[in-house]
Amino acid sequence: KAGVTQTPRYLIKTRGQQVTLSCSPISGHRSVSWYQQTPGQGLQFLFEYFSETQRNKGNFPGRFSGRQFSNSRSEMNVSTLELGDSALYLCASSPGTSGDFTDTQYFGPGTRLTVL
């Protein structure tokens, strides 16, 4: 099976702009989770989508949002970008049947976002 893919791989934006990142899960997987990775905070959970619905949410402000399409592809949007949003954004796909993150999660290569 093809692995998890993410586009774009690199993005440079300026403060105040918004950005949309895309994630295509492994075929047959219905859950897509998003994580932010920074040197200081490590890997932090943003949210999870399952069957086009946000099922779980981490502790991030409302500027971070997402959606999932009927083919399980997911997008993440960040509005009003801040310097601190510079990070590697990773998505992970899983079958999602457990609903409690005990399914194996497979990560994509990430999108490196730089906010200037």
Binding footprint of another protein on the chain (CB under 8 A): 4, 33, 35, 42-46, 48, 56, 58-59, 90, 92, 100-102, 104-110
* Residue number with CB closer to another protein (22 or 107): 107
β-strand pairing of 53-57 with 42-50: antiparallel
CB 23 within 8 A of CB 34: yes
| Shortest separation between residue 15's beta carbon and another protein, angstroms | 26
Between the alpha carbon of residue 49 and those of residues 10, 11, 24, the distances in Å are 23, 23, 12
* Residue number with CB closer to another protein (17 or 45): 45
| Shortest separation between residue 92's beta carbon and another protein, angstroms | 8
| Shortest separation between residue 97's beta carbon and another protein, angstroms | 13
CB 116 within 8 A of CB 12: yes
* Residue number with CB closer to another protein (53 or 102): 102
* 55: nearest Cα among 40, 44, 66, 64: 66
